[in-house]
Structure 1
């Protein structure tokens, strides 16, 4: 195997120089992981990279966990996994996987790094949260299985992550080294359950940058022979491809040594190094086991063959208008506390907290106005109050809770209005910080979910969801 094929660099639209990516492609790297871009940009880049590569096939991947809309501004943001957990509907999970695969494949992306099998069982976890299907290992297993089947039906490869489980930690591995304190017994009955259930369907397993002392006191899971070769491959019998989480994440320390350790531990793909050219040069200077290289080549050959089984739809076919997210929202929305409604002719004051991404509340506000409700200007008195809580996970952010100032602002507004409603548009635990008497959980800030929240307030439907976590 050519050593360069081990490395799969990242490409950030607007940041990575296209000429550098093309140079890496010509050097024979095994693939690329894409971040951002528009539909046109992604399609053009994937074509260019494949044209430049001397390899028969390269694998192009992306973290399209909530559909392409999580990264592409001209694609729809699909329901979060936690929303699907609240809906508890395997058909919706299948449909999410199918739509994601068809859209990704139409743009030349054949490998989706999803689904997340981590459990949503730690309120302080800043990076899992709504990416998880819920706290119950069996619920996660059922919905993730359906999602995987949807991806397969659409022709995309999957990757179950982040082995052996990233849920029980309060640290973002993008920023620092997380420690999972779970005992072996707890791992066996919780974190590992979804992985054991779904390994037969896994095209690949992504190993997390996690210190799990119960399994290996010294090495991160992604660098651990005990966890990759010992637990995953030998004890659990996994025979497929093993990929590291992104090597540019700050939990690792020295990137080159970490990559070498991961390879020697049993990883077949070294994903998204911060300095791919330096890593390639380094890998040619150190001894690499030929048996491990041959195995890595076999695994990547197998993925390439499976990636081409189902032909891609055209972009027009893959992105045709759909009502999936709207249907999902109506089954996912979950209400706790007394029901509050809005009627034509009434007025409402809207206060927003935790919106550090500057997401637009226009879909929610416009839907209320269309229903005959007047949204007053900030500071004006109204009949009722709605607080929109936006806080959601973000890589390299390191926090998921509301700031003290945001909490104080939200609580002050709630006290002024006995008739109030808190709408948690993402992180459900953030709602608990405000102690509202009535809360509507959407688990997603997507426009379709905002509109559904407004229609719920207007009495057009009754929310059917149930919390898939413990508040």
Structure 2
């Protein structure tokens, strides 16, 4: 086996040198994980990388957990997993997987690193949150399984992540090493339950960068023979691909030693190192076990064969407009407490908070305006006030809640309004901590979900969702 095939470098559009990526492809990298880009850029790069590779087939992957729109500006942001958890609808989860697969395949991406089957059971977890289907292992299993069926129908490979469960932590593994404190019995009943149930459908399991003392008190899961080799592959009987999480994350320290440890522990793919050329050179200097190299080659050959079983659709067909997000929004929106109703001619004041990414509220405001409601920024007093909470997970950020200053500002505004509603467009726990008369949860800032939130205030439909987490 070409040892370089173990390495699947990351490619960040606007940051990574395409010349370097093509050189890595010519050296025999087994695949690439893409971040960002436009539809045209992704399509052009996947063609170029495959043309440069000496391999018959390489695997192109991406973290399209909420569709391609989480990374591509010219693709739709699909409903979050937590929104689907609120809807509780397997058909919607299947449809999300199918749409994601078809769109990814049309651009040359044949491997979607999803679904996240971590549990949303820690309010301060800065990186899981809306990426999870919910706090209940049975709900997560049911919807993730349907999503995987959709991916398979569309011809894309899947990956369960982040083994053995990243939900009940308060640390972003992009920044530091999270520690999951629980007994093995607790892990089997909760964190590991979705993995156990879904392994027969899994093309891959991604090992997380987290320390789980009940399973191994010395090594993170992604480098642990006890967790990968003994638990996952032997006890749980998983014989398909094991990938590390991105090696450029800061949880592991020296990435070359971490990559070597991961391979020796049972991983077949070393994903997204910060310095891929150096890692390849380092691996060639090691005496790697021949049996593990042969197995990694077999695994990648099997993945390549499965990735080509269903032909890729054209971009035009894959990106046809659908009403999927609008239908999902009507089933997912969840109301807690008193509603806030609006009629044409009334005025709604609004206050934005937690909008780090400068997300546009235009779909929400314009929908209200189109129905004759005047919308104005909160200026110190209001008859009817909507607090719009935008904060959502973001890698390398390390936090997800509102700051004390933001909470104080919101509470002061609520005191000066006769009626008020907090609308959480992402992290549900932001709204849970605010003493508002009512709370509306959309779990997604996408235009379709903003429009649905406005229609809800206008009384055009009644929210049907149920909170998939405990606040």
TM-score w.r.t. the length of structure 1 is 0.99
- Indicate yes or no: 2:205 matched with 1:170: no
Q: How does 1:117-132 map to 2 (within 5 A)?
A: 117-132=117-132
Distance, in Å, in 2 between the alignment partners of 1:267 and 1:25 is 21
- Indicate yes or no: 2:405 matched with 1:385: no
Q: Hey, what does 1:116 align to over in structure 2?
A: 116
Q: Hey, what does 2:246 align to over in structure 1?
A: 246
Q: Hey, what does 1:328 align to over in structure 2?
A: 328
Residue by residue over 1:310-342, the C-alpha shift from the partner in whole angstroms, topping out at 9 and shown as x without a partner, is 001000000001100000000000000011101
Distance, in Å, in 1 between the alignment partners of 2:168 and 2:183 is 11
Distance, in Å, in 2 between the alignment partners of 1:335 and 1:344 is 22
Distance, in Å, in 1 between the alignment partners of 2:320 and 2:143 is 25
Is contact 2:8-2:31 (8 Å) kept? yes
Is contact 1:376-1:382 (8 Å) kept? no
Q: Hey, what does 2:68 align to over in structure 1?
A: 68
Q: Hey, what does 2:453 align to over in structure 1?
A: 453
Matched residue SS, 1:50: helix
Q: Hey, what does 1:464 align to over in structure 2?
A: 464
Matched residue SS, 2:351: strand
Distance, in Å, in 1 between the alignment partners of 2:42 and 2:364 is 30
Is contact 1:95-1:147 (8 Å) kept? yes
Residue by residue over 1:170-209, the C-alpha shift from the partner in whole angstroms, topping out at 9 and shown as x without a partner, is 0000000000001111101000000000000000000000
Residue by residue over 1:339-383, the C-alpha shift from the partner in whole angstroms, topping out at 9 and shown as x without a partner, is 110110000111000000100000000000011100124416443
Q: Hey, what does 2:338 align to over in structure 1?
A: 338
Is contact 2:6-2:30 (8 Å) kept? yes
Residue by residue over 1:8-40, the C-alpha shift from the partner in whole angstroms, topping out at 9 and shown as x without a partner, is 000000000100000000001000000000000
Q: How does 1:131-150 map to 2 (within 5 A)?
A: 131-150=131-150
Distance, in Å, in 1 between the alignment partners of 2:302 and 2:9 is 20
Distance, in Å, in 1 between the alignment partners of 2:133 and 2:377 is 37
Matched residue SS, 1:383: strand
Q: Hey, what does 1:313 align to over in structure 2?
A: 313
Is contact 1:402-1:433 (8 Å) kept? no
Residue by residue over 1:231-258, the C-alpha shift from the partner in whole angstroms, topping out at 9 and shown as x without a partner, is 0000000010000000000000000000
Residue by residue over 1:66-125, the C-alpha shift from the partner in whole angstroms, topping out at 9 and shown as x without a partner, is 000000000000000000000000000000000000000000000000000000001111
Q: Hey, what does 2:414 align to over in structure 1?
A: 414
**How well do the aligned residues superpose, as a CA RMSD in angstroms?**
0.7
Distance, in Å, in 2 between the alignment partners of 1:459 and 1:438 is 15
Q: Hey, what does 2:433 align to over in structure 1?
A: 433
Q: Hey, what does 2:298 align to over in structure 1?
A: 298
Distance, in Å, in 1 between the alignment partners of 2:218 and 2:100 is 38
Count of residue pairs the alignment pairs up:
471
Matched residue SS, 2:64: coil
Q: CA deviation at 1:418?
A: 2.6
Distance, in Å, in 1 between the alignment partners of 2:418 and 2:128 is 34
Distance, in Å, in 1 between the alignment partners of 2:247 and 2:368 is 45
Q: How does 1:2-13 map to 2 (within 5 A)?
A: 2-13=2-13
When residues 132 and 377 of structure 1 are mapped into structure 2, their CA distance, relative to the original with a 3 A threshold, is closer
